[in-house]
Amino acid sequence: MRLQGKVALVTGAANDRSIGWGIARALADEGADVVLNDVSQADALEQRAAELRALGRRAAAIPADVTDPAQVNAMFDCAVRELGRIDIVASNAGIIRWQPILETTPQNLQPVVNVNIKGNVYVCQAAARQMIAQGTGGRIIITSSVQADVQFTINPIYGATKYAMHIFTSSLALELAPYNITVNHIGPGWVPSALNDPTPDLQTAAGVERQRQAVPLKRAGEPYEMGRAVVYLAADGDYVTGVGIRIDGGLSIGKY
């Protein structure tokens, strides 16, 4: 239990198939107390928190929209009030809209940019300010995607927001290093979360099988496996900053 006494905040964690919940469970299994966030699904979020309390952890469920800085700041205030401090932030909330680049519309582009870029900006700004005020360093882990590197033709804006998080991560790592705050990102591959339910390539059994064959390790990843990478960065990654860890079963190393 290497994270005993630490408090983590995870955004996008309400759905029980989500990467956010996988991260929260992995952190809790190492002893961390956890603040769970999502934009809605307050009941599900409260249920997730109850599951963590059943493990003996302190947990708080705080719904907030990460695209609204006032709500993000209120969430951090509330989290600190309830659990005392914030040591680890997994800025994980994300959305996806499939649309070819030549058909991209503001209706599709703007929500993806708002959640996947601005949401991370607001959460990371609030996280950094809280960690600096505490004066004991911190760990920020942003959820990127294999789609930052392996691009899907009908998903340019999602890929754009995830790729942008790589330079965002290293820029923050540079600025926050003097405070002993590390900033890294994880790159999940194919994970059967709700976010992937509308994925066009995964709508048929044949499509899922093609996807499975495209992964060198021949299976989808589990949300908990994404969480283990976060645990590494939070618990062991004292000297690791400004980098990304892909957890994709090898999906991104070859095309066929």
Partner 1 sequence: MADLQTKTALLIGKSLSTVAGITRELQAAGMEIVVGHTPEDAAAAAQITSRTAPLTLNDPAVLDAEIAAVGSIDIAIIAPAWFKAVRFLDSTLDDWDAALHGNFESSVYALRAVGKHLQAQGRGGSILVLSSVAALSAHKDLSVVATSLAALHVPARLAAVELAPHGITVNVVVMGWLPDAWSADYLNADSQPLLEQATPMGRLGTFADLASVCRLLASPDARYLTGVVLSVDGGYTLHKASTPAPR
Catalytic residues: 158
CA 207 – CA 226 distance, rounded (Å): 23
Q: Which residues contact 66 (CB under 8 A, 6 or more apart)?
A: 11, 37, 39, 72, 91, 93, 115, 119, 120, 122, 123
Task: Kindly write out the interface string for residues 86-105 of this chain, putting x where it contacts partner 1 by CB under 8 A and - elsewhere.
Answer: --------------xxxxxx
Residue 113 engages partner 1 in binding (rule: CB under 8 A): yes
- Could you say which residues in the range 31-90 bind partner 1, by CB under 8 A? 69
Residue 171 engages partner 1 in binding (rule: CB under 8 A): yes
Question: Do 59 and 231 meet the contact criterion of CB atoms below 8 Å apart?
Answer: no
Q: How far is the CB of 156 from partner 1 (least distance, A)?
A: 4
Question: Do 11 and 37 meet the contact criterion of CB atoms below 8 Å apart?
Answer: yes
Length of the chain, in residues: 256
Residue 200 engages partner 1 in binding (rule: CB under 8 A): no
Q: How far is the CB of 172 from partner 1 (least distance, A)?
A: 6
Residue with tokens 């995964």: 202
Nearer to partner 1, 22 or 237 (CB): 237
CA 126 – CA 72 distance, rounded (Å): 7
Candidates 42, 50, 174, 217; binder of partner 1 (CB under 8 A) is: 174
Nearer to partner 1, 21 or 168 (CB): 168
Q: How far is the CB of 227 from partner 1 (least distance, A)?
A: 25
Q: How far is the CB of 121 from partner 1 (least distance, A)?
A: 6
Residue 124 engages partner 1 in binding (rule: CB under 8 A): yes
Candidates 121, 208, 215, 243; binder of partner 1 (CB under 8 A) is: 121
CA 234 – CA 87 distance, rounded (Å): 9
Residue 240 engages partner 1 in binding (rule: CB under 8 A): no
Work out the burial of residue 99: count CB atoms within 10 Å of its CB; fewer than 13 is exposed, 13-18 middle, 19 or more buried: middle
Q: Which residues contact 43 (CB under 8 A, 6 or more apart)?
A: none
Residues of this chain that interact with partner 1 (CB under 8 A) are 69, 100-106, 109-110, 113, 117-118, 121, 124-125, 128-129, 132, 148, 151-153, 155-157, 159-168, 170-176, 242
